[in-house]
Amino acid sequence: MEISKKLIQELRIKTGSGFIDCKTALQKSNGNIDNAIDYLRTLGSCIAERKLSRKTEFGRIFLYHDKCVGVLLELNSETDFVANNHEFKTFGQIVVDYAGTNKIFTLNNLNNIFNSQRISLISRVRENIIIRRMKYITGNTISAYIHSNKIGVLVKGSICSSVKENKDQNFKHIAMHIAASHPLFLSEKDIPKDVIEREMYIQKNIADQTGKNDYVIKSIVQGRVNKFINDVTLIHQKFIMDPKITINDYLKRNSISIYSFVRIQVGENI
């Protein structure tokens, strides 16, 4: 059966599917639009099923941010090409906005709500797509920062009520620092005991190889563990915008308190 370009275009507009798939669907459906849509849905599910096991190491970070809630969402794809696709970007923003406005912070629930849309998108872009992670923070003062759509940061804190100048800018600088320096903890009290013990064990094994006496080895180990703590805790890191001071110094200068933060980066730990 000969299928007109006009009919193919109509089906493409309704389904978002490619030219060849629409033409095939209409041929198999004898030009019936509704039957062609059903065919494409079946085809899309089959395509998606074949793609679901493929690795997704690329993607984007999406942000929802209002006065009391900040949400970061990682949406993954197989290639950067698809991650920059308009449909991919639109889908990611729809998902994170829905999570933020409806206070849905469980990834399983979010995946269940958007699974059919995700499957449909997979069938169109011909790559696996995964809603991989979601992190959120609630509170009265939340700052957010996205770097190159690959790193997302949320910071929860407070600032002295008498300080009004550069309030938003100061919090943004902290968020930018977190994006660049990747602290793992806010302060030393947030580091689990087993993490410190493991670092001490590693540094002692290294120091033992120097052949120095126990007193010197103990001093070396403690110094290196202290450096480790400074490297992984936000408040002890050197401020990237002024390496002469620490983040703690910057907070004190600007009457800022930081209560918590989250940072996610596309593809980490895959």
Mean pLDDT for all residues in the chain: 87
pLDDT digits (tens, 9 = 90+) for 148-199: 999 999 999 988 766 666 778 889 999 999 999 999 999 999 999 999 999 9
Q: According to the model, what pLDDT value does residue 2 have?
A: 80
As a whole-number percent, the residues of the chain with pLDDT over 90 amount to 56
As a whole-number percent, the residues of the chain with pLDDT over 70 amount to 89
**What is the rounded distance in angstroms from the CA atom of residue 213 to the CA atom of residue 216?**
6
Domain boundaries, given as residue ranges, for the chain: 5-51, 54-138
pLDDT digits (tens, 9 = 90+) for 191-225: 999 999 999 999 888 888 888 888 888 899 999 99
**What is the rounded distance in angstroms from the CA atom of residue 81 to the CA atom of residue 63?**
20
Looking at CATH, the fold of the domain delimited by 5-51 is given as Helicase, Ruva Protein; domain 3 (1.10.8)
> What's the token pair of residue 45?
């599910």
Look at residue 25 and tell me whether its pLDDT is greater than 70: yes
Q: With contact defined as beta carbons under 8 Å apart, do 75 and 134 qualify?
A: no
Q: According to the model, what pLDDT value does residue 214 have?
A: 82
Q: Which residue has the higher pLDDT, 46 or 167?
A: 167
pLDDT confidence bin for 15, thresholds 50/70/90 = low
pLDDT confidence bin for 41, thresholds 50/70/90 = low
Q: According to the model, what pLDDT value does residue 46 have?
A: 45
Q: With contact defined as beta carbons under 8 Å apart, do 232 and 185 qualify?
A: yes
Q: Which residue has the higher pLDDT, 36 or 240?
A: 240
pLDDT digits (tens, 9 = 90+) for 48-91: 444 444 566 899 999 999 988 999 999 999 899 999 999 999 99
User: Which CATH superfamily groups domain 54-138?
Assistant: Elongation factor Ts, dimerisation domain (3.30.479.20)
- Rounded mean pLDDT, 120-136: 89
- Rounded mean pLDDT, 94-107: 96
pLDDT confidence bin for 45, thresholds 50/70/90 = very low
Whole-prediction pTM: 0.77
Q: With contact defined as beta carbons under 8 Å apart, do 264 and 135 qualify?
A: yes
